[in-house]
Every structure is written in C-alpha cells, then in structure tokens.
Amino acid sequence: MVFFLDITDASRGAALLTLVRDFWPLWATAALGCAGIYGLLPQARTSKPIWAGFGVAAAILLAGLWFVRQDGVWPEQVLFYAFSFLAVVGGILMLAQSNPVHAALSFALVVLNVCGLFLLLAAPFLMAATLIIYAGAIVVTFLFVIMLAQQAGLASADARSREPFLASLAGFVLLGALWCALDKTYNLTPVLRELDLVASAKSLDEVAKLWSEPAAKPGARTLPALDRLKNALPRELEYDVPELEKAWAKQDLPALTKAAARLRDQAAKLKLGALKPRDRDAPVEAPVTAQNVAGLGRTLFTRYLVPVELAGVLLLVATIGAIAIAGRRGEGLR
C-alpha cells in the first residue's frame, strides 16, 4: 500500500515514460488494436467504419510480426499462427456483432481455436473436454436462451454499447501493461545487445557513455545501470553481475569485457521460455505427451483428490441452487 502513496514521485513518472519508450512497439500495437475495437463496437450508426477494420487488422499483423519469432519448426509456427489468428478474430467478431446469435457463434469459434492451441500444447484431454463443455453445452444453452428470450432477434439494446471509449481505454491500458510485463520477463534481446556492446567496447569511456546516467560517478559502489541489468536478467544469472560491478569499480577494461562476454553467452544459451516436453523442472508424476489422459487421471485422483471432491460438491450445490432460484415463479404468476 505504501508505494501507492508516492504517486507524485517524479521518478515514478520518469519510470513510466521509460517504460513506454522502451516498449513502444507493444504500446503502439495495443493502441491500434483498441482503437480498432472502439470503432468496431456496436454503436448507433448505419455501418461500421472502415478504419476500424483496418486498425484491427494492422494490429494483428504487427503482433504477429513482432511477437512471434521467425525461425523454428514450421508446422508448429503455422498452426500456432492460424489458431491464434482465428481465436483473436473470433473474439473481435464477438464484440463487433450486434446480433446476439452471431456473437454467440463467434464465441464458439474462439473456443474452437483455443482448443486447437491446447492441442498444440499437448493437452488433448483438455481440448476435448473444453470443446464438449463450452462449445457443446454452454454455447448451445445460451443460444437456446437467446432464441426464447429475444425472438425478434435484435433488440435495440444490442445495437448500442455502454461506454465504448472508456472500455477501450481500459482494455488498452491493461493489454499494454500485460504485454510489457511479459516482454520484460521473457525477452532478453535488449539485454543481450547491451552486453554485446560492453563486451566489444574498446575503452572505458564508451562503457561510461553507454551506462551514463545523471547520478553515476565513476567508482561509485552501485551503478544504476548495473542495478537495471541485474533486474532485467533472470534469476539464474543474477549472481554473475557482481563480477561486472567489481570490474567497473576497479576500472579494469579487460576484466569488464570478459565478464560481459561471459554473461552474454550464458544468457543467450538460456532459451528463456522455451517449452520443453520434459525434464525442465522437478520430477513429474507422468510425462506430458501421449499418456496425457492417464497422467491426468492419476494426478487428479492422487494429488488433487480433495479439490476433485470439492468440485463435485460445488456442482451439486450449483445444480440445486439453480433449481431453487429459477424454480420459483415470479409474483403474480402462481
């Protein structure tokens, strides 16, 4: 709670500006996307503007270009692109459609493609379960409800949105923040670039210019740039940064370049975020691939037994609750 209170702290504002400046592609993409969504939302006009569609399309394209990398296994790439593109498009369509039936069908499209992504992530049972429950049960139920409740098809309320601009703004802020957080954690490219520059520096002045910040003094114990470096690197490499600090404090260029090069190579080898099928972490109960159902079953009924029982109770309670709430006739209709 305390850190909220120094909202007038100038360094907080400067940090925000730095964040926007460093990750401007993400913010730009998010802005484009949310502006497009704002245009596409159902509002009281005859047809949707063209620029909104273009904006959304551009956003998706840029996201595809910037966030997902080029090299890699081709089938996986293509499938990932296809499924995620269709999922996002389905989501946008769900927002844009005035007709509730069309919107529900778009939701079914989203579920379909998310299940495709599940399959790519080696979760076949979940794919099937989600498909059956969501696209099969929930969406159909809601379609029935819409059909019975809104037999005219389109009510006047469906053609309007509540607070489109503010909602898009909220979406933009949240999306930008989330993407920035993700990029800071999993994207080491800027850090690697910086370490590369330090490793290939010819003199201490270059390094000083690179790391120069207003408060830095040569020979200072903690350099702000090194602190930033330490925060940006993943946990495993944190302990190698003090070497850099010591070299800088001693103003020793060879040691500095050697330490920076070593750090860069270790970070490059790290393959942050790589999805490995096995032996990444602590021992698992069952491998993740083809024996997914058996493994899932074993895990559910040994390690997560109590939550399973509780989920059963929850289902029972929900059923009884739903009947109790809705079983009552309204006043005057008895």
DSSP 8-state assignment for residue 334: -
**Does 315 participate in binding other proteins (rule CB under 8 A)?**
yes
CA pair distance 165, 179, nearest whole angstrom: 21
CA 4 to chain CA mean position, Å: 24
Q: Which residues contact 70 (CB under 8 A, 6 or more apart)?
A: none
DSSP string, 56-67: HHHHHHHHHHHH
* # of chain residues touching other proteins (CB under 8 A): 125
Q: Which residues contact 49 (CB under 8 A, 6 or more apart)?
A: 39
CA pair distance 208, 248, nearest whole angstrom: 10
**Does 95 participate in binding other proteins (rule CB under 8 A)?**
yes
Contact mark string toward other proteins, 189..218, x via CB under 8 A: x-----------------------------
From the CB of 278, what's the least distance to other proteins, in Å?
5
CA pair distance 273, 69, nearest whole angstrom: 13
From the CB of 138, what's the least distance to other proteins, in Å?
5
**Does 65 participate in binding other proteins (rule CB under 8 A)?**
no
Contact window for other proteins (CB under 8 A) among 205-213, 217-225, 250-258, 315-323: 315-323
- Using CB under 8 A as the binding rule, the residues of this chain from 282 to 301 that contact other proteins are 282, 284-286, 288, 292, 295-296, 299-300
> What number of other Cβ atoms are within 10 A of residue 26's Cβ?
23
Contact window for other proteins (CB under 8 A) among 82-90, 197-205, 243-251, 258-266: 82-90
- Using CB under 8 A as the binding rule, the residues of this chain from 33 to 62 that contact other proteins are 33-34, 37, 41-42, 44-46
CA 28 to chain CA mean position, Å: 16
CA pair distance 114, 109, nearest whole angstrom: 9
User: Using the rule CB under 8 A, which residue among 65, 140, 275, 290 binds other proteins?
Assistant: 275
From the CB of 157, what's the least distance to other proteins, in Å?
4
From the CB of 46, what's the least distance to other proteins, in Å?
5
Decide whether 133 or 220 has the Cβ nearer to other proteins.
Answer: 133
CA pair distance 248, 260, nearest whole angstrom: 11
Which two tokens mark 54? 């273009």
Contact window for other proteins (CB under 8 A) among 159-167, 202-210, 235-243, 253-261: 159-167
User: Using the rule CB under 8 A, which residue among 61, 65, 166, 305 binds other proteins?
Assistant: 166
From the CB of 158, what's the least distance to other proteins, in Å?
5
Q: 223 and 248 in contact (C-beta within 8 Å)?
A: yes
User: Using the rule CB under 8 A, which residue among 22, 31, 58, 158 binds other proteins?
Assistant: 158
**Does 24 participate in binding other proteins (rule CB under 8 A)?**
no
CA pair distance 258, 263, nearest whole angstrom: 9
